[in-house]
Chains A and B, each alone.
Chain A
């Protein structure tokens, strides 16, 4: 019968209420921490990506080489680090420059330059990886016909590399916390099962096979893990919606935005539930099995 372990599992949780509570609390606290770090590192990743993608190299073309667009483009595209290349003539550059000013007066001031355009034809180049931008900029600068290159500057590069470090550290921290959670929860479950080793011994005495004994305990672990995930899930959903609504989704600057809560929060809930269930399952399975192995 399949229903037996399930009903026995629920009964076990209810009848060992004090022990169940301590396991549930262990699950709850670790899952809350994991949830926070998941949110943090996911946003860190988005933020880094958005900063990286906003970084472009400006490469101005020497006036003497204005007819060499195709050759220069080909040379730029031949570089490994290049992701995209866009080309604007100096007239387009001028229009764009002018479009940034709203008031007629300023436009008036710049109008003489339409005929005698001081701007250059230009390539805008994106790198595949923000960290390569400095190198790439130098290489493009060496191409014949490029008179100068320019990118966000060293400070942007530093920020990107700092963020990718933080991001990597964040990912590492999530993995570490996950392992810690499994360890903590497994330990709690091990203790509760240790406290019930007499029970397990009695079950063996009466002729129960290992799998028959194990099933309700594993079910208990799953139930414990699920119950332990409820509070973190609720906190994550309500907390995230709350923060999102309070801030309007914008933190610090427009560049650092919060993800829209709708699918995001559900994914988080799913991940938390999965971790809770898995940890409960694995923890209880390993604990009972370890105890049963030496039992005749």
Chain B
């Protein structure tokens, strides 16, 4: 599903964000990416999302060479993956319903199917009563759930989430985790989740990839990351 081989990323200003990254994720896996701030987690996500291109190396997602997509191919590629951003990235002037519907409008689904599917995924994230609310009328946890609903609306094979629990208190974080696990087990969606939150990593044990200063310093198949001195 996801394959990085010898991936380097050097930003235009000279910052080296990633060095020789090698890892792969199989279909149906649930993987944490953890690491201190500035270790390159978001950079990795941007590479997977085709927002940035690798300086060297291959990034492959769902069989596509993501690093070499032309600009106009990028939107088409993104329809294969769902991305949940730490800052939600909901359209402020669209309602919850319209936000989720937008991800389906871009693939030209017809209105009736869109309505059906949006109601379905809002049900999954338990927000079917908030369809007509605007994002600013929702709590952070609710907005995060809308973002997740939008990301899974067109049944992507891969879901990538950048700190989906970043701004939430522990009980809300658990809600989101349960939701993601449900998506992972019920739909077989491959999930790659970036997080800071070691409590979560230790409570819900999954394969864990540890980044530090742009290097993968550990890839723990059983999870349960034990924090060492920094």
Contact = CB atoms under 8 A, between A and B. Distances in A.
A20 to B, nearest CB: 12
A203 B76 contact: no
Contact of A15 (B51, B72, B93, B108): B93
Interface stretch (A32-40, A132-140, A205-213): A205-213
A14 to B, nearest CB: 9
B79 to A, nearest CB: 4
A296 B90 contact: no
A190 B78 CA distance: 27
B103 A206 contact: yes
A246 interface: no
Contacts of B75: 204, 207-210, 212
Nearest to B50: A296
A296 B74 contact: yes
Interface range on chain B: under 10, 10 to 19, 20 to 34, or 35 or more? Answer: 20 to 34
Contacts of B76: 207, 209
Contacts of B145: none
A207 B78 contact: yes
Nearest to A16: B93
A234 interface: no
Q: Is the interface of B mostly helix, strand, loop or mixed?
A: loop
B199 interface: no
B92 interface: yes
Q: Is the interface of A mostly helix, strand, loop or mixed?
A: helix
Interface string A182-210: 00000000000000001101111111111
A202 B91 contact: yes
Interface string B76-116: 10110001010001111100000000110111100000000
Instruction: Choose among A205, A207, A209, A210 the residue with the greatest number of B CB atoms under 10 Å from its CB.
Output: A207
A39 to B, nearest CB: 40
A4 interface: yes
Contacts, number: 55
A202 B90 contact: yes
B150 interface: yes
B13 interface: no
B71 interface: yes
Interface in B104-146: 105-108
Interface range on chain A: under 10, 10 to 19, 20 to 34, or 35 or more? Answer: 20 to 34
Interface string A89-100: 000000000000
A153 B229 CA distance: 103
A282 B76 CA distance: 27
A210 B78 contact: no
Instruction: Choose among B53, B83, B90, B106 the residue with the greatest number of A CB atoms under 10 Å from its CB.
Output: B106
Contact of B93 (A199, A208, A210, A295): A199
Contacts of B103: 206-207
Given A16-B93, A296-B74, A207 B79 contact: yes
Contacts of A204: 74-75, 78
B91 A296 contact: no
Nearest to B153: A206
A203 B91 contact: yes
A199 B90 CA distance: 8
B106 A205 contact: no
Nearest to A206: B103
Instruction: Choose among A198, A201, A209 the residue with the greatest number of B CB atoms under 10 Å from its CB.
Output: A209
Lowest 6 CB-CB distances: which A-B pairs, in order? A207-B78, A207-B79, A15-B93, A208-B106, A209-B75, A202-B89
Given A203-B91, A207-B78, 4 more contacts: A203-B106, A206-B103, A209-B76, A212-B106
